[in-house]
Amino acid sequence: AQSVSQHNHHVILSEAASLELGCNYSYGGTVNLFWYVQYPGQHLQLLLKYFSGDPLVKGIKGFEAEFIKSKFSFNLRKPSVQWSDTAEYFCAVSFSGSARQLTFGSGTQLTVLP
Amino acid sequence: ETGVTQSPTHLIKTRGQQVTLRCSSQSGHNTVSWYQQALGQGPQFIFQYYREEENGRGNFPPRFSGLQFPNYSSELNVNALELDDSALYLCASSQPPGTGDADTQYFGPGTRLTVL
């Protein structure tokens, strides 16, 4: 079965530090890739997505992600985090032929210290 | 534009009971997917509805069932509730297949179900 792994369960950073959250998936076929964010008390919001084309995608709030097909990875990055980025981040993948269902990683809790 | 809405916000049931959760899709979206998010985990796909029919199902038993109505709203029904069914239930909607953003799902706030 296809799976998605997020190896960092909890990341703690100081404001202005750089962020990189890892995401790997297990599937050799065509995929659509997503990062969602869940701020405290709020619902899941789409940060960015990759379907095809330029493997470096930019999302909202200064986030970006790079798709590396050979490594089955879609890591999320932000050059300088802010306290307001404190949230849980989920990587999600839809696999070809899966009726567009999303398979999520277990999430990474990011805490940014002021 | 109204986003995805879900009701109720919270629900407490006892083991063995049945529950119905409701979802209204975002305007222009005719596909609805349901997910279960247990505490500390990522959402898990339950099933998807398109044109009032089930269009894909995850690894959930038959006591999890659903409906989609002509206005694209949807219900999730769970029979014979078990303690492990305690979770946040998320509904997501997406545009019709073949449209530009059809593969993107937009989530509602969820229903927090507690089974005692």
Dump pLDDT digits (tens) for A88-102: 999 999 987 666 789
Q: What is the DSSP letter of A83?
A: G
Q: Which residues of A touch B99 (CB under 8 A)?
A: none
B90-109 per-position pLDDT tens digit: 999 998 877 778 889 999 99
**CA nearest to B94, candidates B42, B56, B60:** B56
Nearest to A94 by CA among B52, B23, B48: B48
Q: Under an 8 A CB cutoff, do B102 and A45 touch?
A: no
Cis peptide before B97 (omega within 30 of 0): no
* Residues A59, A107 contacting (CB under 8 angstroms): no
pLDDT of residue A27: 79
| For residue B1, pLDDT beyond 60 | no
The residues with which B13 forms a beta bridge, in sequence order, are B115
Contact of A39 with chain B, judged by CB distance below 8 Å, is answered with: no
Between residues 76 and 105 of chain A, which touch chain B (CB distance below 8 Å)? 90, 92, 94, 98-105
The chain-wide mean pLDDT, for chain B, equals 94
Of the two residues B1 and A10, the one the predictor is more confident about is A10
Structure tokens at A94: 């839809």
According to the model, what pLDDT value does residue A29 have? Answer: 81
Q: Identify the residue whose tokens are 């029904």.
A: B77
Residue A90 and residue A74: Cα distance in Å, rounded?
A: 11
Lowest mean pLDDT among A18-27, A43-52, A97-106, B79-88: A97-106
Which of B26, B31, B29, B24 lies closest to B1 in space, CA to CA?
B26
Residues linked to residue B113 through DSSP beta bridges, in sequence order: B11, B87
